[in-house]
Structure 1
Amino acid sequence: MTSPTLSPSTTAAAADEEEDESSSSPSESLDFILHRILPFLLAAALSARFLAGRWRILHSKLSLLHAALADAAASPHWPSNPLFRDNLLPALRATLRSLRALSARCLDHSLPGGKLRFQSDLDIASSALTVHLRDLHVLLSSGLLHHDASPSNSASDDDAAIVLPLPGPSASRAELAFFVRDLFARLQIGALDLKQKALDSLLELLASDTAKLSRVVAEEGDLPSLLRLLDPSAHFVLRDCAAAAVSLLASASDASRRAIFDEGALGPVLRLLDSGSPVLKERAAAAIQAVTADPACAWALSAYGGVSILVAACRPGSPAVQALAAGSLMNVAAVDDIRITMAEEGAVPALVELLVSGNTEAQKNAALCLATLAAMGGAEIRASILEENGHHHLLQFLREASDPEATDRALRAISALSASPTAAKHLSSSPHFFAQLTDIIKRGSPSIQQTAASLVADLNPSEDIKRSMAESMSALVEIMECPKPANAQEAAAGALTSLLAVRSNRRELSRDEKSITRLVQMLDPKNEAVGKELPVGVALALTAGSGGGVRKRLAEAGACQHLQKLAEDDVPGAKKALQRIAGGRLKNLFSVAWAQ
């Protein structure tokens, strides 16, 4: 049996001094630790023979502790920091007192309590030193000890003991940064009530100006310490508040969203969505949707096994969670590998079911996700959507759409699904569907009009259905005049060309003086708002077959002059359209032009 080379008198003297130190001021207490108790323990650790390996580890930690405390003592403001003064210093003093007692026990060769108990006590003390070193590192690295946090500068004594007051609207960047660093220090050093108040203050701070202050939190806060509170082992109250803070940071700004993603937030929030309480699931789902909205972050979802978790969250349960989970799947559906995993994990049945049973937001997200899957997933995914009667449910969702966004997403999904011959055949035989398209073309927003016109152009409905859509032709002519959104002019021209295949539609459009005037104006080479092939194509469709009245009206509106110039410029179809309209007068028109 060996022991540190310390005499009983030396140990007793240290004990006496410890008793004196217990009633001293914080400054005297820190001085006593630095110059009395730590040198004593460092000497004891070096001279130990029993469990020498553990004592050497303790010596290393005590040396680091001595250096860190010396750095802290060098700051003139450490006495005003309650985290150091009221939390760390008393806890550290208790640990060192325990170690001093352990060193005294080594002098008794009988080892009171036994060898295993002594070994366990050393391990407990060593772990406590590790915690103290971590806390000291937090305070030193945050720079908090170099700022005066005394009550006279910030708040009352009670406030300073709990948390700093929330900065006002006019607070400087430096004041905000100090407040954030202090909050995160309390999350790591304080007891449960202190951590809770710190989280409450963090949420209050973010709520006051989310976009601006989220960037400060991302830059100045210790985000890993916040994410650790999402662990199942954390207290449920802290986990709830931490999830709320992470959700706010994920949705507040690009900087804060990228920061929490880079620190590994996706994995913890997916675990919360998978197995958390209803409140935690909703907050986790909101964070996941915000994170996956960034294409640079979306790829990581499958790496965490997140697809199956999101698909499960789309199943019957919380309507809010369903909508958010569908939104996350919508965000990542364009990623090839994730799209394949979605199909394997049963995303299609879950999304189609949401079209029927989900709330409006869930329906909209499910529709847009199905649109992406149908457009980018190939024939196999389109077939799986049809197997789930997805086309029927999308048509029903379109009929019941309560706002333009719902209409747009339903149409986009239907348009993508129409690439399937089976779906196209079903859609083309639905008079009610084309009646809805007619109404959308007449009254919808530009982007919705474009999608509806594209469907009319791509599908092949019967003549009766085309005839029923005649009232939409004037709106299609107007759409052709507008260069935005992109491709809307092409869609409108294609839809018009399809509808003008019916003779009665050609006759009706020719009687619409405003539409004829607009069409002729688009043929004018000086009009650069629309490509000339589009109105030329419509003019060809309008003059197809018999019907001298159509040609006469076009000629009287000045179409021949424009078509003549377009023919000279070799615009495809212009010469043919001119021949149809001018008839026997074509030769004379060209003769006049050449004579000039």
Structure 2
Amino acid sequence: MVEQNSDLAGTTTGNSKLRQATDQISSLIFLSHSIKPFQSKWKMIRTKLDEILSILASLPPESHENTALSSIFHSIEQTTDCCNNLAQKCIEHSYSGKLLMQSDLDIILVKFDSYVKCLSEFVNADGMLSTGNHAIVVSRPGAAASRDDIKFYVKDLLCRFKIGRVEMKIQALISFNEVIQEDERYVRIAMEIEGIVHVLMKFLSSKEIRVQEEALKSVVMICGFDSYKSVLVGFGVVGPLIKVLESGSDLGKELSTRCLMKCTANSDNAWAVSAHGGVSTLLKICEIGCDDASAGGGELVGLACGVLRNLIGVDEIRRFVVEEGGIPLSINLVRSKNEASQIGAIEFIQVMASGNEFVRGLIVNEGGIRVLVRVLDPKSSYSSKAREKSMRALLMLCSDSVGYMNSLKSYGFMDHILYFLHNGEVSIQESALRAASWLSATSDEFKKAMGDAGFIPELVKFLDAKSFEGREIAAETILRLVEVPRNQKRFVQTDQNVNLLLQLIDPEEGNSSNRKVLLSIIMSLTICHEGRKKILSSGYLKNLEKLAEDQVLDAKKIIRNLSSSRIRSIIRGIWHS
């Protein structure tokens, strides 16, 4: 324990010395930002100072005792003092002439450049940034670290990115990825440091697979910030990402598609992908995926479909995808054995069908309706998530077309929806409920068919479900179904159905937002003789009467209908007596 504490103290002292060694250069960098004359010259000087600062930050404390390094430090100190004097003259405009000042700044720039080369040669020759025993990594700041501490740490990592050997680059990238995943401040501060994006872009084209993969992880994280996504695109991130898709490792390809997914969430960047041949590359991945049942391959295909889904928001790219066989390709992927591929393809078909009648026709002609309905077959092995996606895609595909709706009916769509209303998990039951609601809004023919198929008893079960949305959708669907006379008769055949409606409009529960729909259902049932009879004989009729007394307009209308029908019955009874 004593030895560990000693090591920790040594590391802390080393970090302190490193901070002291960088103070003079840091002050000069800060001062240079306030200089107005010769801004381009001072920008170049700042770049060199940043490089020196990064190398100094990477040096272990014991290196300060090295004679060769001490000589370099002394020269740097003298040149920095001289540069400080020039900076003050520029700020005060007290220099004797522009040409002379430019010459002095050029001399300073050459000297700083020579220090960068000397320090880099020393580091590489001595192996200080190798993975040997002498390597030192600046301690990672704690959770309450200041902005300066974080910036210092990230600059140290940047130095290792630039001049470290391969293993050190990888370790630095791993450390960088850990901190940016855990704390967003590191992302924001890193993006302010000049050169870090450029280095990451360079790593994307690295021949070292580990370097490339770790850099891709960094880019994936940075792409998650909308404000930085455009910065990466501006730096030309799309081209290297497409190259990784074409020839990278499996992990590299997956990470690349994740980056492209985030970048193309904004359709403005779609053309950048297209310009680098990305659309063809993504289609090729999907094509290979049709024959690849492996989990990794399926994940990649699903992501590729996601990128394509973002891209086809641009009409020209959508046309290109259609011309390149994207529709039959996606339909084949729905038939694949991998869930990620299936879901990616189904979502792609849904977006393709959106707002384009011609493309919808092509999807239908390629057997899209049949394939999507087959996903819903309870006997098939598709997951609940794939089935939910398939329902949504079918709703998009078949809306506003009698012909497509009839195809749905002939392929058994209603039977599958009814099955999942009765037997499905909660999530798929909700999707089936939405699909039933959609069907009920199409035509009287479908309303009759739903009544004949047995939808009403299943829908009634949802009237007192835990989910408010479920209760609301079920009530609205039943309301549409009972607009058809024969469905009114079906509904009232079961006494419990009428009792439940009257029970659910309990005045004591306040003004339920769903009550108006329930009252509308009851109103529809009063048209039917058997319906009026069941309502009048229900033990919950008092709820309706109480609402009428409370001046609820719909309840008053229902009571009026019931009263007039009762009077007519009495008159008919007297007349026939």
Q: How many residues were matched structurally?
A: 463
Distance in structure 1 (CA, Å) of the matches to 2:238 and 2:117:
33
1:505 is aligned to: 490
Distance change (3 Å), C-alpha of 1:35 and 1:556: closer
1:283 and 2:269 equivalent?
no
Whether the 8 Å CA contact 1:227–1:265 is kept in 2: the answer is yes
Please state how far the C-alpha of 1:381 moved relative to its aligned partner.
1.9
Which residue, 318, 327, 346 being the options, matches 2:325? 346
Please state how far the C-alpha of 1:314 moved relative to its aligned partner.
1.8
1:383 and 2:357 equivalent?
no
- Give percent identity, aligned residues only: 22
Please state how far the C-alpha of 1:329 moved relative to its aligned partner.
3.0
Distance in structure 2 (CA, Å) of the matches to 1:530 and 1:285:
45
Distance in structure 2 (CA, Å) of the matches to 1:297 and 1:487:
40
The Cα RMSD (Å) is 4.6
Please state how far the C-alpha of 1:415 moved relative to its aligned partner.
1.3
The residue matched to 1:357 in structure 2 has which SS?
coil
Which residue, 376, 385, 405 being the options, matches 1:405? 385
Distance in structure 2 (CA, Å) of the matches to 1:455 and 1:171:
55
Amino acid at match of 1:542: L
Which residue, 199, 214, 219 being the options, matches 1:241? 214
Please state how far the C-alpha of 1:327 moved relative to its aligned partner.
2.4
Distance change (3 Å), C-alpha of 1:473 and 1:204: closer
Q: Alpha-carbon deviations, 1:73-132, whole Å to 9, x = none? A: 9xxxx9xxxx776415689x9xxxxxxxxxxxxxxxxxxxxxxxxxxxxxxxxxxxxxxx
Aligned 1:53-202 pairs, distance under 5 A: 66-68=107-109, 86-87=119-120, 158-160=134-136, 163-167=137-141, 171-192=145-166, 194-202=168-176
Distance change (3 Å), C-alpha of 1:188 and 1:556: closer
1:448 is aligned to: 431
Amino acid at match of 1:529: S
Distance change (3 Å), C-alpha of 1:380 and 1:541: farther
1:517 is aligned to: 502
Please state how far the C-alpha of 1:347 moved relative to its aligned partner.
2.8
Which residue, 454, 474, 477 being the options, matches 1:492? 477
Distance change (3 Å), C-alpha of 1:559 and 1:204: closer
Please state how far the C-alpha of 1:391 moved relative to its aligned partner.
1.5
Distance in structure 2 (CA, Å) of the matches to 1:329 and 1:24:
60
Whether the 8 Å CA contact 2:264–2:270 is kept in 1: the answer is yes
Q: Alpha-carbon deviations, 1:245-269, whole Å to 9, x = none? A: 3234335x55665553454323321
Distance in structure 2 (CA, Å) of the matches to 1:411 and 1:259:
38
Distance in structure 2 (CA, Å) of the matches to 1:326 and 1:61:
56
1:110 is aligned to: none
Structure 2: where are the runs of 5+ without partners?
1-65, 80-100, 290-296, 569-577
Whether the 8 Å CA contact 1:246–1:287 is kept in 2: the answer is yes
Aligned 1:441-590 pairs, distance under 5 A: 444-445=426-427, 447-459=430-442, 460-461=445-446, 463=448, 465-467=450-452, 468-478=454-464, 484=469, 488=473, 491-494=476-479, 496-497=481-482, 501-502=486-487, 504-512=489-497, 514-518=499-503, 520-521=505-506, 527-530=511-514, 532=516, 534-547=517-530, 548-553=532-537, 557-558=541-542, 561=545, 569=553, 575=557, 577=558, 580-585=561-566
1:222 is aligned to: 196
Distance change (3 Å), C-alpha of 1:431 and 1:240: closer
Structure 1: where are the runs of 5+ without partners?
1-22, 37-59, 94-149, 588-596
Distance in structure 1 (CA, Å) of the matches to 2:68 and 2:422:
81
Please state how far the C-alpha of 1:371 moved relative to its aligned partner.
2.3
Whether the 8 Å CA contact 1:250–1:291 is kept in 2: the answer is yes
Which residue, 23, 28, 39 being the options, matches 2:71? 28
Please state how far the C-alpha of 1:354 moved relative to its aligned partner.
1.6
Distance in structure 1 (CA, Å) of the matches to 2:364 and 2:560:
47
Amino acid at match of 1:28: S
Distance in structure 1 (CA, Å) of the matches to 2:548 and 2:477:
24
Distance in structure 2 (CA, Å) of the matches to 1:491 and 1:180:
58
Distance in structure 1 (CA, Å) of the matches to 2:423 and 2:499:
15
Distance in structure 1 (CA, Å) of the matches to 2:343 and 2:103:
60
Which residue, 431, 436, 452 being the options, matches 2:417? 436
Whether the 8 Å CA contact 2:462–2:470 is kept in 1: the answer is no
Distance change (3 Å), C-alpha of 1:34 and 1:478: closer
Distance change (3 Å), C-alpha of 1:584 and 1:202: closer
Amino acid at match of 1:397: V
Distance change (3 Å), C-alpha of 1:170 and 1:275: same
1:319 is aligned to: 298
Distance change (3 Å), C-alpha of 1:320 and 1:439: closer
Whether the 8 Å CA contact 1:243–1:283 is kept in 2: the answer is yes
Distance in structure 1 (CA, Å) of the matches to 2:471 and 2:122:
67
Amino acid at match of 2:302: A
Amino acid at match of 1:288: L
Distance in structure 2 (CA, Å) of the matches to 1:465 and 1:306:
46
Which residue, 413, 421, 443 being the options, matches 2:402? 421
Distance in structure 1 (CA, Å) of the matches to 2:257 and 2:456:
46
2:575 is aligned to: none
Distance in structure 2 (CA, Å) of the matches to 1:334 and 1:579:
54
Q: Alpha-carbon deviations, 1:404-434, whole Å to 9, x = none? A: 5333212111211221333210222455643
Whether the 8 Å CA contact 1:327–1:362 is kept in 2: the answer is no
Distance change (3 Å), C-alpha of 1:566 and 1:356: farther
The residue matched to 2:335 in structure 1 has which SS?
helix
Distance in structure 1 (CA, Å) of the matches to 2:322 and 2:567:
60
Distance change (3 Å), C-alpha of 1:327 and 1:585: same
Distance change (3 Å), C-alpha of 1:565 and 1:398: farther
Amino acid at match of 1:25: A
Whether the 8 Å CA contact 1:441–1:476 is kept in 2: the answer is no
Distance change (3 Å), C-alpha of 1:434 and 1:90: closer
The residue matched to 1:158 in structure 2 has which SS?
coil
Please state how far the C-alpha of 1:482 moved relative to its aligned partner.
6.2
The residue matched to 2:533 in structure 1 has which SS?
helix
Pair member with larger Rg? 1
Distance in structure 1 (CA, Å) of the matches to 2:315 and 2:367:
24
Amino acid at match of 2:134: D
2:94 is aligned to: none
2:57 is aligned to: none
Whether the 8 Å CA contact 1:34–1:69 is kept in 2: the answer is no
Distance change (3 Å), C-alpha of 1:551 and 1:283: same
Distance in structure 2 (CA, Å) of the matches to 1:438 and 1:500:
25
Distance change (3 Å), C-alpha of 1:237 and 1:482: closer
2:45 is aligned to: none
